[in-house]
Amino acid sequence: MDLQLSIGMANNLRTRAIFEDKVKPDGISLICTPLHASELFWRQLRFGDFDVSEMSLSSFLMAVAGGDMRWVGLPIFTTRRMFNVGVLVRRDRGIEKPVDLIGKKMGVPEYQQTAALWTRGYLQHEYGVHPRDMEFWMERNDDYSQGAAIGFKPPPDVKLNFIPNDTNLGEMLLQGKLDGALRYLAGTDNLVDRSTVDLSRHPDFKSLFPDPHAEGVRFYTKTGLYPINHCMVIKREITNRHPWTVLNLFKAFVRANDIAEKARMEAVAYHVETGLLPPEARKALTTPLIRHGVKANRRVLETTAQYSFEQGLTPRLVKIEEMFAPSVMEQ
């Protein structure tokens, strides 16, 4: 009889084969719940709702550093994006380049969320703008903060304020009470994020970078880093009783990822054959950027841990070996 486990995660190309039962972990029956990351991480860290779940990499680093041993990490990375180039700013604040953020009031859904962690590290290492150079306003209060669930305290050199419960990040941006946002989430239909207005095409706002795509390409070309936002975790009590679940789950997610990659490569072939893409694009577009496992991602993981330590989110530099199950460290 299969071991029944609950799992919470986003339903995307990398996980769809598991949601649709096209891929099944050996010996495990998964009860899948699709959830937006904001709500999922809060529910998992505060209430432990799921046996297995997608998890904020930043929050997981903080939990490990703080001695919270409820979870064992799985090097499964289904969400990776260049959120670090997505800073939103008001047009009337004279912000034309990263250095102009110094002294500005910047909003963020959650200070320690991974997207914000990467953006601050990016601004610091690429442009010399440190977290202490800005004043931050955070939307999520203690009742709905994933950070609060693991004992987050603002670093002593950072100015962090909390947005009152009777308003939200979007409203404060519209009213001109904030100069911009490192990360803005609106209309995501979850229990955590309060903002509702779409500012992506609002005439009063613009991206910090005139061409975010080109900036992301520049960063990747220079560093070879493609940020990891989320990993997967499993309750330690389960791995203690059933250590075999770790590799069985890992293998299933690798198979699901392979299905997504195969579909993408077929689509690339169609575009090349019809001339919608030049033949030389085939090699680049068939190069997988999202790969699971520690070996292929160690440098990105170590950079994330470094940023967390530099920014005062973790009191020490967390080693990758502390995060993931020993049985997957060679994968």
Give, in degrees to the nearest 5, the angle at Cα 163 between 161 and 168. 150
Sheet holding 52-56, edge to edge: 28-34, 3-9, 52-56, 230-235, 71-74
64 SS3 class: helix
- Please name which of 290, 248, 227 lies closest in space to residue 13, comparing C-alpha atoms: 290
pLDDT digits (tens, 9 = 90+) for 160-200: 999 999 999 999 999 999 999 999 988 778 899 999 999 98
Q: How is residue 260 written in tokens?
A: 């997504």
Mean pLDDT of the 54-81 span: 95
φ/ψ of 101, rounded to 5, equals -75, -15
Q: 236, 51 in Cβ contact below 8 A?
A: no
Q: Tell me the whole-structure pTM to 2 decimals.
A: 0.93
Domains of the chain listed by start with CATH number:
3-80+228-257+294-328 (3.40.190.10), 83-223 (3.40.190)
Mean pLDDT of the 18-40 span: 96
Rounded to an integer, what distance in angstroms lies between the CA atom of residue 250 and that of residue 76? 7
Rounded to an integer, what distance in angstroms lies between the CA atom of residue 111 and that of residue 235? 25
Mean pLDDT of the 72-80 span: 94
Average confidence score pLDDT of the chain: 94
Q: How is residue 189 written in tokens?
A: 């239909």
In 10 A of CB 248, how many CB atoms? 15
pLDDT digits (tens, 9 = 90+) for 205-224: 999 999 999 999 999 999 99
| pLDDT at residue 157, as a whole number | 93
CB-based contacts of 62: which residues, under 8 Å, 6+ apart?
A: 112, 147, 150, 152, 308, 313, 314
pLDDT digits (tens, 9 = 90+) for 126-157: 999 999 999 999 999 989 999 999 999 999 99
Rounded to an integer, what distance in angstroms lies between the CA atom of residue 213 and that of residue 206? 14
| pLDDT at residue 189, as a whole number | 83
5 SS3 class: strand
In 10 A of CB 4, how many CB atoms? 10
Q: Where do runs of H (alpha helix) occur along 9-56?
A: 16-19, 37-47
Rounded to an integer, what distance in angstroms lies between the CA atom of residue 42 and that of residue 32? 17
Mean pLDDT of the 256-272 span: 83
Q: What is the largest CA-CA distance in the chain?
A: 64
Does 288 score more than 90 pLDDT?
no
CB-based contacts of 329: which residues, under 8 Å, 6+ apart?
A: 294, 320, 321
Residues paired with 32 in a beta bridge: 7
